[in-house]
Copies of this chain bind each other. A is one copy, B any other.
Amino acid sequence: MVNDMQTPVAPLWIDRLAIVGVGLIGGSLALALKRAGVVGEVVGIGRGLENLRTARSLGVVDRFTQELEAGVADADVVFLATPVLTLPQVAARALPHMKSGAVLTDGGSVKASVVAAIEPLLPDGVQFVPGHPVAGTEQSGAAAAFPTLYEGRRCILTPTARTAAAALDLVARMWQTAGSEVVLMDVEQHDRVLAATSHLPHMVAYALVNAVSACGREGEDVLRFSAGGFRDFTRIASSDPTMWRDIAISNRTALLETLEIFEATLAELKRDIAGQQDEALYEFFQRSKQRRDAIR
């Protein structure tokens, strides 16, 4: 199921928004909503005092606290923007302190493991809307946040059978106000589509750089001879190792399925190279080129 929510946006107002993890993702959402004038107060919650002070001095948040429980207590919307493996424990601490009628949402790149961990913890009167804004840069921290990060980018929401329509509508309008195209998916579909289009390519890029290094003999630095194409191709292997370790583990079921499809595809190519199957090779490359050109 994929639905694009492109209906006209009703007026949005959030009295108090708590951002847990005031980095690029959390801070940029705060800035976008403040700029749109749809939020009364933004409370920043985090562990690093220096980053929180930076966030306040830059106007990313109006006030901040290092106390998660106190910070979320009076918030109408709580956005969790911490690393994906930490989301269950952060939610477990925050949820008992959230007020009735409040909405919890998150920005995790993986959804099934997050939903499975958080939904059983939901108190009566608190709603959870799982989300994934598909955006980011190679920067991090509150100082990297900017209000247009989400403009023209997709934000995928993955409501479950327990998600109330009103809460989903509120979070969808929040992301639309930030400039995103909101797309609804099943949790399982989200993890499979992201495994294919994002997680698998990152795994392949990381593996390629390590494999090419291993092709050198007797201390030979073959990477010295890499040209522009290789550099573009492997830029994503410069991404944060901690984040990708967490994503690989959190989404391992869907990721392992895509890795198997990739291995089978590569094995087909290898067999055709070994057998000098010129027609099959041309067809393989041509098919790939056509698909790639279609998404330019």
Contacts and interface: CB of A to CB of B under 8 A. Distances in A.
A207 B259 contact: no
Given A225-B154, A233-B201, A245-B281, A239 B289 contact: yes
15 contacts: A193-B220, A201-B229, A201-B234, A204-B208, A205-B288, A208-B262, A223-B291, A229-B236, A232-B232, A233-B234, A244-B285, A245-B278, A249-B281, A252-B273, A252-B274
A189 to B, nearest CB: 8
Interface stretch (A15-23, A47-55, A90-98, A211-219): A211-219
Counting contact residues on chain A (CB < 8 A from B), the size range is: 35 or more
A168 B291 CA distance: 43
B263 A266 contact: yes
Q: Is chain A's binding surface mostly helix, strand, loop or mixed?
A: helix
A239 to B, nearest CB: 7
Interface of A: 134, 153-154, 192-198, 200-217, 220, 222-227, 229-239, 241-242, 244-245, 248-249, 252, 255-259, 261-266, 269-270, 273-274, 276, 278, 281-282, 284-289, 291-296
A233 B205 contact: yes
Nearest to A224: B295
Nearest to A209: B288
Instruction: State the 10 A-B residue pairs at the shortest beta-carbon distance, nearest first.
Output: A241-B285, A196-B215, A211-B262, A211-B265, A206-B288, A241-B286, A209-B288, A237-B292, A245-B281, A197-B226
A259 B294 CA distance: 27
A222 B227 CA distance: 30
Given A195-B215, A285-B206, A291-B210, A270 B266 contact: no
Contacts of A284: 206, 210
Given A197-B212, A198-B227, A232-B233, 4 more contacts: A196-B211, A200-B215, A210-B265, A252-B274
